[in-house]
Amino acid sequence: MGVTLVMNITIDADVFLFDLDGTIYLGDVPIPGAIETVKYLESLGKRVFFLTNNSGHTGSEYVKKLAKLGYLAQPDQIISSGDATIWYLKSNRSGKSVFPLATKTFTDELKKNSIPISKEADIVLLAFDTTITYEKIWHANILLSKGCEFITTHGDLVCPSEFGNMPDVGSLTALFTSSSGRKPDVICGKPYSIMAELINQRIKNVSLDRVLMIGDRLYTDILFGIKNGYRSVVVLTGETSSDVLDRSDIKPDHIFNSVNDLVQL
């Protein structure tokens, strides 16, 4: 793409919220032209954020990943379900202790934010945890059975990988629902409102209909837009095909082949 880009006339927004996997890249491979499109939008003075439901990594890891693809993000441009969860705990559960089922990276992030961690916690916090053990599952189940609050970072059932789907937080939640009878009291990531509250705080005076959510999953990205008053674009570079779109009740405002259709040649 060269200097002849112009804004797609069907899209007029001030803030662009991009999903990452399936939208900006697929695993480690960038969607051709996606980074150039993001840079072009910024050259027009548009604000850009990247949202991910993955709570196994921190913002700085995504800054590094985007830098490898050629985009230098500021840390506050990246909002993960883990960030939304930490923000929620600090603003709504101040002083409460958590028992985290989480990677070391996310647990360290909780500590950095002075969130008390304890085995006798007030809250069981379930994040994307590739280090989970039977012992942790058992202990969390004891706490949940005693009536501890149950907070999860997000609800996705699976996380795609090049080898096949990985069980994600939603699948582990189903395990705890079976073993303790408990459903989450709070879910923080897309499509729920906590991540949107954090975004709205960062974008301050922008009216919500000037915010555009762009992503590849209908039941997380697009529903997130619909439920929180943003306009939405589904891109067909990831999970959603036109067949899936036809069958779904979740209807985005726009359907684009890729993020590159946000601009026109």
Query: Least distance in Å: CB of 19 to Mg ion?
Result: 4
Distance CA 234, CA 217 (A): 7
Stretch near Mg ion under the rule CB under 5 A, chosen from 115-123, 213-221, 222-230, 250-258: 213-221
DSSP string for residues in 97-142: -EEEE--HHHHHHHHHTT--B-TT-SEEEE---TT--HHHHHHHHH
Stretch near Mg ion under the rule CB under 5 A, chosen from 20-28, 29-37, 153-161, 252-260: 20-28
DSSP string for residues in 155-191: --SEE--TTSPEE-HHHHHHHHHHHH----SEE-STT
Helix (H) or strand (E) holding 39: helix 34-43
Query: Least distance in Å: CB of 76 to Mg ion?
Result: 21
Exactly one of 21, 36, 109, 156 binds Mg ion (CB under 5 A); that residue is: 21
Query: Least distance in Å: CB of 215 to Mg ion?
Result: 6
Distance CA 166, CA 198 (A): 27
Query: Least distance in Å: CB of 169 to Mg ion?
Result: 15
Query: Least distance in Å: CB of 94 to Mg ion?
Result: 32
Query: Least distance in Å: CB of 52 to Mg ion?
Result: 8
Q: Are strands 25-26 and 15-19 parallel, antiparallel or unpaired?
A: unpaired
Q: Does 19 bind Mg ion (CB under 5 A)?
A: yes
Number of residues that bind Mg ion (CB under 5 A): 5
Stretch near Mg ion under the rule CB under 5 A, chosen from 4-12, 18-26, 84-92, 124-132: 18-26
**Tokens 């990276």 belong to which residue?**
105
Burial (CB count within 10 angstroms: exposed 0-12, middle 13-18, buried 19+), residue 14: middle
Q: Does 216 bind Mg ion (CB under 5 A)?
A: yes
Q: Does 261 bind Mg ion (CB under 5 A)?
A: no
Q: Cβ closer to Mg ion: 129 or 216?
A: 216
Q: Which residues ranging from 219 to 258 are in contact with Mg ion (CB under 5 A)?
A: 238
Give the tokens for residue 162: 């090049």
Q: Does 22 bind Mg ion (CB under 5 A)?
A: yes
Q: Which residues bind Mg ion (CB under 5 A)?
A: 19, 21-22, 216, 238
